[in-house]
C-alpha cells in the first residue's frame, strides 16, 4: 500500500475510533484526529482519563463499527450551517471560526457520526480491519500549556493483520531499547522529584560515557584548529538584549531577578554565542586572525514546557559541543564544509550516520516578528547557504519557519526508537549578530568589515546523544565507549589476588574502566550478571589459568574466545579502543 493510501486508512481509523468513543462516552467533546507517521491519534475533552480497559472496550466497539460497514460520505456546508451542526462541539466551532470568510466547510459522515474534516477517507468503515489502540495520555489543546489538557488516544492501523503484527513486534523491541527505561535499568541516569523535571542525574556509568565523548570531541576539535573557551553560565540581561535573545527567546530562558525591582537582572544562558563573541572582541582583529574557531563544552539552560520533556532527549539543563567560527565571506564555504565534515565524522564514529536526515531551516517572511534583520539580509544568507549545501550535495528538505531568529541553519535530524524526530546537530550561517555586537576585522584593503559567523555543534547535546546511543546499541556500547570495558571474574576466592594483579596491569596500560567481581558467588552467576550489564569483555581465571599464566576471555559479541596472556588481551582491547571499532 502506498504511503498516501496508508495515511488515508489511518485517518479513517481515527474517525472510527472517535465514533466508538462517542458511543461509549457520549459526553466527550471532539478535538482533532489526524494520521501521523506510525498511526493516528484523536484528542478528546473529558474529565475521564482513559485506561487500558477503556481502550480494549473502544477497540471492541470499533470492531462493531467495521462490521456495520458504514458508508463514509463527504459533504460541505456554508459557515452558518456548519456552526449550527457543530454547536455542541466547542473545539470544532473554534476551528470553523478560523477558516476564511465565504469558504465552504468540509465534513465526513459515517452512520450517526459526523466530523469536521478535509479528508480524504476510505469509502466504508469495513475497510478498517487491522488496528490497535496503543496508549492514552494527556495533551494540551494545540500543544500549548496555556490551553486545556485533553485526553489523547494513540493507535495504529494497517491493511492486514500480518503488517500490524510485524509493527507491534517492532514496537515491543523499541520499548526494550527505550533509553528512558534501559538507561535507568543499566544505572546510567536517574531523576528526582526533589530536583525537578527535565534535570536528570547522570550516575557514575552514564557520567563516564559523557566524559569519554567530551574528551574525544575536544581532542578532535583541537586537531582541526578549534580553540577552547570557558565562559560564564549566566549574564546580565544587557547581553541578551544586545543579542536579541531577550526579545525573541525570553520565554525560553530562566531569568534571575525582577526588572522592575532589581538594579541588575541576570539570566542563565540558553546558548553560548554572545559569550564567545566577547572572546573575539578581546582585542582588535584583522583578516589575518580569520578564520577564528572557538569551541566550548557548554552547559545550557532552556525552560522547556513540562509536557515536552522526555528522559535525556529533551531536558532543561544540558551540555552541548558548541562552537562559533568567525570568517571572511571568501572563507565561508570552506569553513562550513569543515564544520559539516566534522559533524559527519562524529556521526560515523558513533554509528549514527546512517540514521540521520537533513533539514534546511529557513525563515518565514510572513512572520517577521520572529526574526531580526531585513528581507535582503535573509535572502542573501539563505542563498549563500543553499549554494553551499548544493555544492556539497547535501540531500535536504526545507523547513519554513524553522530558522533561528538571526539566521538560516542546517539541522541534522534523527529519530528515536519510537519514531519521534529531534535535531541532533545544527550548523547555522549568521551575518547579522556580528554587526549588532560591533565585531569587526580590518581587511586587506584597510577597510573595516563584519565577519560571517557559523554557529555549530559537532556532536550536539551530549545527553541527547547518550540517549540515542543507548537506543542504537540497546545498552551494549562499543568497547571504547562502554562505562565498564572489562569484568574480572575469579572462579573462587583463592583466585582473587591473581585477578587483582591483572586489574593493575590493565590500569598500567591505560585500561581503567575495569571491575573486579571478587564476591563469594558461583562463577555462572557472575557471568550472567556481567552479561546483563552488557560488559564487552569478561576475564575469568581458575587454577589452570593461573598455572598457565593466562586468563579465559569471554566476549559479549563472540562468546568464549579462548585463553590469552594478559599482554595478548591488552593488545587486542587496546586496538579495539584506539580504532573505536563497533
Task: Please name which of 149, 151, 145 lies closest in space to residue 43, comparing C-alpha atoms.
Answer: 151
Rounded distance between C-alpha atoms, residue 170 and residue 134, angstroms: 13
Give the pLDDT confidence of 86-122 residue by residue, as tens digits. Answer: 999 999 999 999 988 878 899 999 999 999 998 899 9
> Which residues, listed in sequence order, are joined to residue 427 by a DSSP beta bridge?
410, 456
Predicted pLDDT at 398: 92
Whether the Cβ atoms of residue 311 and residue 418 lie closer than 8 Å to each other: no
Predicted pLDDT at 480: 98
Asked if pLDDT for residue 380 goes beyond 90, the answer is no
Predicted pLDDT at 3: 59
Dihedral over Cα of 474, 478, 480, 482: its sign: positive
Q: Which residues contact 552 (CB under 8 A, 6 or more apart)?
A: 539, 540, 541, 542, 545, 560, 562, 563
Predicted pLDDT at 312: 95
Asked if pLDDT for residue 353 goes beyond 70, the answer is yes
What average pLDDT does the segment 293-309 reach? 90
Least confident interval from 17-26, 136-145, 158-167, 478-487: 136-145
> Considering the entire predicted model, what is its pTM?
0.83
Rounded distance between C-alpha atoms, residue 366 and residue 417, angstroms: 35
Give the pLDDT confidence of 454-483 residue by residue, as tens digits. Answer: 999 999 999 999 999 999 999 999 999 999
Strand, helix or coil for residue 266: strand
Buried b (16+ CB within 10 A) or exposed e, 121-137: bbeebebbbbbbbeebe
**231: DSSP letter:** -
Give the pLDDT confidence of 176-233 residue by residue, as tens digits. Answer: 999 999 999 999 999 999 999 999 999 999 999 999 999 999 999 999 999 999 999 9
Helix%, strand%, coil% for the chain, nearest 5: 40, 25, 30
Give the pLDDT confidence of 562-579 residue by residue, as tens digits. Answer: 999 999 999 999 999 999
Q: Is the peptide bond before 120 cis (omega within 30 degrees of 0)?
A: yes
Predicted pLDDT at 1: 54
Rounded distance between C-alpha atoms, residue 569 and residue 548, angstroms: 15
What average pLDDT does the segment 61-81 reach? 95
Predicted pLDDT at 419: 82
Residue that is written with C-alpha cell 522529584 in the block: 193
Give the pLDDT confidence of 416-458 residue by residue, as tens digits. Answer: 888 888 899 999 998 888 999 999 999 999 999 999 999 999 9
Strand, helix or coil for residue 86: coil
The percentage of residues in the chain with a pLDDT greater than 70, rounded to a whole number, is: 99
Q: Within 10 A of 333 (CB to CB), how many other CB atoms are there? A: 16
The percentage of residues in the chain with a pLDDT greater than 90, rounded to a whole number, is: 80
What average pLDDT does the segment 34-59 reach? 94
Asked if pLDDT for residue 260 goes beyond 80, the answer is no
Predicted pLDDT at 2: 60
Rounded distance between C-alpha atoms, residue 414 and residue 355, angstroms: 6
Grid cell of 358 as nine digits: 537533513
Domains defined for the chain, CATH in brackets: 3-167 (3.30.980.10), 209-473 (3.30.930.10), 486-578 (3.40.50.800)
Residue 141's φ and ψ, nearest 5 degrees, are: -60, 125
Amino acid at each position: 500500500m502506498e504511503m498516501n493510501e496508508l495515511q488515508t486508512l489511518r485517518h479513517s481509523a481515527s474517525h472510527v475510533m472517535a465514533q466508538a468513543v462517542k458511543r461509549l462516552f457520549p459526553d466527550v467533546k471532539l478535538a482533532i484526529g489526524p494520521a501521523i507517521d506510525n498511526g493516528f491519534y484523536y484528542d478528546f475533552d473529558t474529565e475521564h482519563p482513559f485506561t487500558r480497559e477503556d481502550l480494549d472496550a473502544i477497540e471492541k466497539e470499533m470492531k462493531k463499527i467495521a462490521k456495520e460497514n458504514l458508508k463514509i460520505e463527504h459533504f460541505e456546508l456554508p459557515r452558518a450551517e456548519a456552526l449550527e451542526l457543530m454547536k455542541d462541539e466547542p473545539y470544532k466551532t473554534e476551528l470553523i471560526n478560523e477558516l476564511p470568510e465565504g469558504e465552504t466547510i468540509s465534513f465526513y459522515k459515517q452512520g450517526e457520526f459526523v466530523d469536521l474534516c478535509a479528508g480524504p477517507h476510505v469509502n466504508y468503515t469495513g475497510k478498517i480491519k487491522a488496528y490497535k489502540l496503543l496508549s492514552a495520555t494527556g495533551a494540551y489543546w494545540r500543544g500549548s500549556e496555556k490551553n486545556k489538557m485533553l485526553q489523547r488516544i494513540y493507535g495504529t492501523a494497517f491493511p492486514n493483520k500480518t503488517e500490524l503484527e510485524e509493527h507491534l513486534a517492532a514496537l515491543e523491541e523499541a520499548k526494550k531499547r527505550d533509553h528512558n527505561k534501559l538507561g535507568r535499568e543499566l544505572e546510567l541516569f536517574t531523576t528526582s522529584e526533589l530536583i525537578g523535571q527535565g534535570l536528570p542525574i547522570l550516575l557514575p556509568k552514564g557520567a563516564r560515557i559523557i566524559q569519554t565523548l567530551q574528551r574525544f570531541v575536544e581532542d578532535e576539535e583541537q586537531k582541526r584548529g578549534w580553540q577552547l573557551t570557558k565562559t560564564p553560565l549566566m549574564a546580565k540581561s544587557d547581553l541578551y538584549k544586545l543579542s536579541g535573545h531577550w526579545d525573541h527567546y525570553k520565554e525560553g530562558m530562566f531569568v534571575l531577578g525582577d526588572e522592575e525591582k532589581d538594579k541588575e537582572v541576570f539570566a542563565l544562558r540558553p546558548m553560548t554565542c554572545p559569550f564567545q563573541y566577547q572572546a573575539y572582541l578581546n582585542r582588535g582583529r584583522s583578516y589575518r586572525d580569520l578564520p577564528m574557531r572557538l569551541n566550548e563544552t557548554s552547559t545550557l539552560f532552556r525552560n522547556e514546557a513540562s509536557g515536552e520533556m522526555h528522559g535525556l532527549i529533551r531536558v532543561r539543563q544540558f551540555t552541548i559541543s558548541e562552537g562559533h567560527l568567525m570568517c571572511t565571506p571568501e572563507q565561508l564555504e570552506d569553513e562550513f564544509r569543515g564544520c559539516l565534515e566534522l559533524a559527519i565524522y562524529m556521526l560515523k564514529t558513533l554509528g549514527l550516520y546512517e540514521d540521520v536526515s537533513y533539514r534546511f531551516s529557513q525563515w518565514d517572511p510572513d512572520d517577521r516578528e520572529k526574526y531580526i534583520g531585513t528581507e535582503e539580509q535573509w535572502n542573501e544568507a539563505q542563498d549563500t547557504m543553499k549554494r553551499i549545501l548544493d555544492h556539497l550535495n547535501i540531500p535536504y528538505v526545507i523547513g519554513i519557519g524553522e530558522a533561528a531568529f538571526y539566521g538560516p541553519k542546517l539541522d541534522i535530524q534523527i529519530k528515536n526508537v519510537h519514531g519521534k524526530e529531534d535535531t541532533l546537530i545544527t550548523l547555522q550561517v549568521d551575518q547579522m549578530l556580528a554587526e549588532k555586537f560591533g565585531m569587526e576585522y580590518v581587511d586587506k584593503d584597510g577597510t573595516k568589515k563584519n565577519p560571517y559567523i557559523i554557529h555549530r555543534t559537532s556532536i550536539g547535546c551530549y545527553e541527547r546523544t547518550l540517549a540515542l546511543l543507548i537506543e542504537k546499541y540497546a545498552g551494549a556500547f562499543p568497547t571504547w565507549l562502554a562505562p565498564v570495558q572489562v569484568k574480572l571474574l575469579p572462579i573462587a576466592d583463592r583466585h582473587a589476588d591473581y585477578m587483582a594483579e591483572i586489574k593493575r596491569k590493565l590500569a598500567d596500560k591505560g585500561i581503567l574502566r575495569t571491575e573486579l567481581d571478587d564476591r563469594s558467588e558461583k562463577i555462572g552467576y557472575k557471568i550472567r550478571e556481567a552479561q546483563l550489564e552488557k560488559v564487552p569483555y569478561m576475564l575469568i581465571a581458575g587454577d589452570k589459568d593461573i598455572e598457565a599464566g593466562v586468563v579465559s576471555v569471554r566476549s559479549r559479541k563472540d562468546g568464549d574466545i579462548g585463553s590469552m596472556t594478559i599482554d595478548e588481551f591488552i593488545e587486542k582491547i587496546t586496538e579495539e579502543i584506539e580504532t573505536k571499532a563497533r
